[in-house]
Chain A
Amino acid sequence: MDFSLMQRVFPFFVEAALVTIEITVLALILGLAAASLAAAAKMSKSAILRTIGTVYVSLFRGTPCLIQLFVLYFGGPQIGINLEPFAAGVIGLGLNIGAYMAESIRGALVAVDRGQTEAARTIGFSRFQTLRKVVLPQAARLMIRPLGVNTVALLKGSALVSTISVVELTYTAQRFIGSTYKPFEIFGVAALLYMIMVYAVARVVDLLDKRFAIV
């Protein structure tokens, strides 16, 4: 094994990992926003909104993320959507993970005991007040773990944007193969960096879980 090669490429890979983090964070923000809207739509009283929510979730969970990225990046220009690779990557990953996160959010909301809603309503709280003051604080705790799992999936799934030429960790690794012919070392370093990032996410999730624990 060529350790000196691994050492030499490491700084470049760290820089590329920063791009991976950037994409992941932006897609996470977009995903959470899309997920909140989709979860609200799916739980709405309006049949139209429920349908929109369901279609969004089934569409993005029912097709490969790679195909979604291709449709957006390569197919986009045909319908007048011209996106830079980076933007297409963030939007594609964000909309994809948003569909999974919508289910995590909805799952947490419906997992809060019905008696909580009933108690709040009998005191005289409106639907919105009940959601805001009683259901959401309890659901927030229940959604930390599933959303953490989604975030790890997003982080690892961000490797897919290398196929639409976003220069992130996986793309950088592939580029080094051509000049070194040492895929074991090269992809090994990339894998190590992914693992460190996943570990960091897991730690943050643990901290949030403790922070929001209900005694």
Chain B
Amino acid sequence: MSTQRPMVEVRGARKSFGAVEVLKGIGLSVDRGQIVAIIGPSGSGKSTLLRSINHLESLDSGEVWLDGVQVNQKLHGHAFERHINKVRQQMGMVFQHFNLFPHLTVIENISMGPIILKGMTKSDAHALAHSLLSKVGLADKIDAYPSRLSGGQKQRVAIARALAMQPKVMLFDEATSALDPELVDEVNAVMKQLAAEHMTMLIVTHEMRFAGEVADRVLFMDGGVIVEEGPPGDMFRAPQKDRTRSFLKKYLSA
């Protein structure tokens, strides 16, 4: 085992919404460059776990660490606000519904973060945005507004927008779930390209095939706990737990 500190670490994460406990003491560690896919039925807590890493959900108890810095530090008011804004700049997040800014063009969507938060000049930020757009295959859409793009194109822009902040880790929250089937591959291709570049990634997904292709490790969550985890090959071929087996049977046969 390597002794380097993990890029993302979650310890004893608990979270309830009202009377429902959606995370029941989750622990998780992701090394630099590792790709972890989180699968599980709806309501299993996988999205909540991912969102709590970015502090979009605040945990009731437990800790989240990013590259040796605690994300959910016990700070108050403005001190926490400053802290979390800094930490979030180091994490890219991609949402199911893209959440591009509709009043801004593609290039403005991407360059806004670097310009405002990193003090990059407009021309540097636009050059960066341009190269990221080429990378996701959308260099010709630079001046388009999001409403003119297909779902797959929107999601690729959203990925470019997240990458523009040069994050240490990318969090994908069901990035292809809202897409028409024929548009899924173009987004998956971009994610595979990031995997090849050793980007650290946490991917919440319903796509078992894609998880199997890209992930180093798969976590199966159900009822707020991690039921089983392991390399995708072992997990999909020979799941150890009954719950994992019955879940996978539904998905792999579909």
A contact residues vs B (CB 8 Å cutoff)? 113, 115-116, 118-127, 129, 133-134, 137-138, 141, 214-215
Contacts and interface: CB of A to CB of B under 8 A. Distances in A.
B19 to A, nearest CB: 23
A124 B71 CA distance: 13
B165 A118 contact: no
Contact of A215 (B112, B117, B148): B148
Contact of B95 (A118, A137, A138, A141): A118
A120 B56 CA distance: 11
A107 to B, nearest CB: 18
Interface stretch (B99-107, B132-140, B202-210): B99-107
A214 B103 contact: yes
Contact of B103 (A124, A126, A137): A137
A115 B165 contact: no
Contact of A214 (B86, B93, B147, B158): B147
Contact of A123 (B56, B97, B113, B148): B113
Contacts of A134: 101
A138 B116 contact: no
Nearest to A114: B99
A118 B97 CA distance: 11
B91 interface: yes
Given A124-B165, A125-B85, A214-B145, A119 B116 contact: no
Contacts, number: 63
B147 A215 contact: yes
Contacts of B89: 123-124
Contact of B101 (A116, A122, A127, A141): A116
A123 B101 contact: no
B54 interface: yes
A17 B44 CA distance: 65
A137 B93 CA distance: 22
A124 B88 CA distance: 5
Interface of B: 54, 56, 81, 85-86, 88-89, 91-93, 95, 97, 99-103, 112-113, 116-117, 145, 147-148, 158, 161-162, 165
Given A124-B165, A134-B101, A138-B102, A119 B95 contact: yes
Given A123-B88, A123-B165, A141-B103, 7 more contacts: A121-B88, A122-B162, A123-B161, A124-B88, A126-B85, A138-B102, A138-B103
A113 B165 contact: no
5 contacts: A115-B99, A122-B54, A138-B102, A214-B102, A215-B148
A125 B89 CA distance: 8
Contacts of B116: 125, 129, 133
Contact of B85 (A113, A124, A137): A124
A129 B112 CA distance: 11
B112 A122 contact: no
A119 to B, nearest CB: 4
Contacts of B112: 123, 133
Contacts of A138: 101-103
B117 A118 contact: no
Contacts of A214: 102-103, 145, 147
A13 B78 CA distance: 57
Given A122-B56, A215-B145, A116 B85 contact: no
A39 to B, nearest CB: 20
Query: When A and B form their complex, which 8 residue pairs have the shortest distance between CB atoms, in order from nearest?
Result: A124-B89, A119-B99, A122-B93, A115-B99, A124-B88, A123-B113, A137-B103, A215-B145
Contact of A122 (B81, B86, B91): B91
A37 to B, nearest CB: 22
Contacts of A124: 85-86, 88-89, 113, 117, 165
Contacts of B158: 119
Nearest to A119: B99
Contacts of B86: 124
Nearest to B91: A122
